[in-house]
Amino acid sequence: MNLEKFYFPVAESHIALADASLPEIAGYKAIVSPQNGENKVISVVKDSYKLIPNRELIEPFLDQVSNLHVRWRIDPSHSFCELNRMRLQITFPDIMIRDEESEIPLSLYLHNSYDMSEGVRCLWGGIRLACSNGLLLGTIMGTFYSRHTQGFEFKNIQNQFDRALEKIDKVQSRITHLRNTPVSETLIEDLQKTLGKKRLAEILQTDRVPDASQWQLMNDITYYISHQVEKPKRGDLQLGVSKVFEL
C-alpha cells in the first residue's frame, strides 16, 4: 500500500483577519496544507494544539511494529486518509482469533487528526476473513491514546502487543459467550443508542428482537459497518459496538 497520500504537507499558520479594523483573534492558529503555492486551510485550532504530521507518526509506528518480529502487513480494507483525519490498519496474519465459521487475524489501527476531532490513538481489532468484517476489541484489549496538547511518542508498542496476546483467550471466551447468548431487548436498546434506531432497523430488517445469538447479531452489524458505511465513519461506530458487546 502506497503511503504517500498520508504524507501530504501540513503546517501551522497565523490567522489573518480580512477586516483590519477588527481585533485579532488571540489563542488560535490555522492548520494548513501548502498546495500549488497556496495554503489550503484544514482547520482552526487552539494554540495549545501540537501538530503531529502523519509521517512523523506513521514511520516510527511502523518501525516499532517491525521490531515485534512477527509477520504484518498494511491493510487497506479499513485504512483511509483525508485532509483532516486518517486511519492506518496493520494486520498480523499469523495471530488468529476464531469462531466456528471464520478466522479473525489480529489488527492494530492507528488514528490521527488535524482538526481536534480525535487525538492520536491506537485500537486493537480484527478482520473476520469469512466476510471481511472489521471489528474492534478495545473493551478487552484496551486502547492507547494521547491528546494533541500533550504530544506523542511510541515507546510501548511491544508492551501493548504482549498484553494483547495475553488477552486473546479472554476474547475467545467472550466470543463463545456471545455465540451461546440470545439477543435481548436490553441489548437492542443499547444498540439503538449507539447506532440509531433507523440504522439498526435497516440492519435487522425487522422491528422485533431477532431470533439469533448475540454473536450472529454482532456479525450482521459489523458487516453493515464494513460494507455500507464510509471508511472515515467506521471507527467510531465499530468502537461503540465493541463497548455494547463488551469486546
Write out pLDDT tens, residues 208-223.
888 999 999 999 999 9
Q: Give residue 8's Cα distance to chain centre.
A: 20
- pLDDT attached to residue 207: 72
- pLDDT attached to residue 37: 83
Write out pLDDT tens, residues 85-130.
999 999 999 999 998 888 999 999 999 999 989 888 899 999 998 8
What end-to-end distance do the CA atoms of the chain give, in Å?
29
Amino acid at 144: F
Q: Which of 147, 112, 242, 135 is nearest to 190 (CA)?
A: 242
- pLDDT attached to residue 99: 87
Checking if the pLDDT of 151 tops 70, the result is: no
Of 4-13, 16-25, 181-190, 192-201, give the lowest mean pLDDT range.
16-25
Checking if the pLDDT of 172 tops 80, the result is: yes
pTM (2 decimals)?
A: 0.91
